[in-house]
Amino acid sequence: MAEKIVAINAYRPKVKLIKRARVKEVVQQIAKGSTIHEGEMSLALQQLREAVIYMLQGGRSVTLEGLGTFTPQIRLDGTFGVSLKPDKAITGELNKDNGFIGDIVNRDNIGKTPDELVTLWNEEHPDDLVTP
């Protein structure tokens, strides 16, 4: 018997990720659309990183309008992490008509409920049904 989460994960829509963009590529993209040279942009990003770390170390959240808010977090074991809440403009751009131009796996299942995804699983896996 399959677990419900396995069935949902198998059939839910997912973004098909491709090669990760690294800092060098981001710097090149920014430099292409501005008068800032790649070296200057690279240095500016390094300085931005250092400034964000400094603020976080002091217990401050950092909001970079247009990008998002970084907030320091502490785990039960005492180690620190950082949460990032993207700026609404970023998700807004992705959600515009034709805003996302990448590939989506299981695109046909957009809008289906978890129960409908379980039904798909059960139809295609009669020997490993999800039951309530």
Phi, psi of 58, rounded to the nearest 5 degrees? -85, 5
Looking at the predicted structure, is the pLDDT value of residue 132 above 80?
A: no
Its pTM stands at 0.76
In this prediction, residue 113 carries a pLDDT of 97
Whether 14 and 106 have beta carbons less than 8 Å apart is answered as yes
Residue 75 CA neighbour count, 13 Å, CB half:
6
Looking at the predicted structure, is the pLDDT value of residue 91 above 90?
A: yes
pLDDT band with cut points at 50, 70 and 90 for residue 126: very high
